[in-house]
Structure 1
């Protein structure tokens, strides 16, 4: 029997794809959208710690996350254009999400982080 993922088993956060133009902009966006603590260090290690915490009811550092075992955090990146991103921002971000999922799995948490990218409508790509 297959498992069906209902709306109660995931939390979708809309991330503005233009924030991938700089690491500072991405940290600002994620800090706000995830509800990260005021002492969030705005670096990749701090982001890894925060994302990895969604599997622990006691140390959850993402205040916009309602803890349910097995719940997925979907980061839905809107208006994502590969032509206007900074690779030094995108690649470390992808690695942090992969590492956070590894940590969650090792801690036997069923929570996971997914990323979905949505390109801007055809002909409306923003200029870098």
Structure 2
């Protein structure tokens, strides 16, 4: 697994769980049976066929709008990485202060 081959999960503009799950389904090419809930996401992340480096960007608005859901998402990502450390790496992009509502570029 190389960063050059990373899958980008772009959450720019996402402010609810449904949109978050839709973006996950698209970026990770999750199967049709993906139920768009936390348990289904956890199952899919631990069943990835190929080693995957997942870069999550544009997540600030979601974290601000739905802090409890964002905490759950982080727990799901962390659990999947712990369970399959050779199959999944998740990286949170910290840059892009302009992604936060009302933030000014630094």
TM-score, with structure 1 as normaliser: 0.64
C-alpha spacing 1:18/1:72, structure 2 compared with 1 (3 Å): same
Would you say 1:16 and 2:1 are equivalent positions? Answer: no
Alignment root-mean-square deviation, CA: 2.7
C-alpha spacing 1:7/1:73, structure 2 compared with 1 (3 Å): closer
Q: Shift in Å at residue 39 of structure 1?
A: 1.5
Instruction: Describe how 1:1-128 pairs up with structure 2 within 5 A.
Output: 6-7=2-3, 10-19=5-14, 21-54=15-48, 60=49, 67=50, 71-78=51-58, 80-81=60-61, 84-105=64-85, 110-122=86-98, 125-126=100-101
Q: Shift in Å at residue 114 of structure 1?
A: 1.5
Corresponding residue SS for 2:101: coil
Structure 2 unmatched runs, 5+: none
Structure 1 unmatched runs, 5+: 55-59, 61-66
C-alpha spacing 1:102/1:115, structure 2 compared with 1 (3 Å): same
Runs of at least 4 residues of structure 1 off by over 4 A? 5-8
Higher helix share: 2
Paired residue total? 102
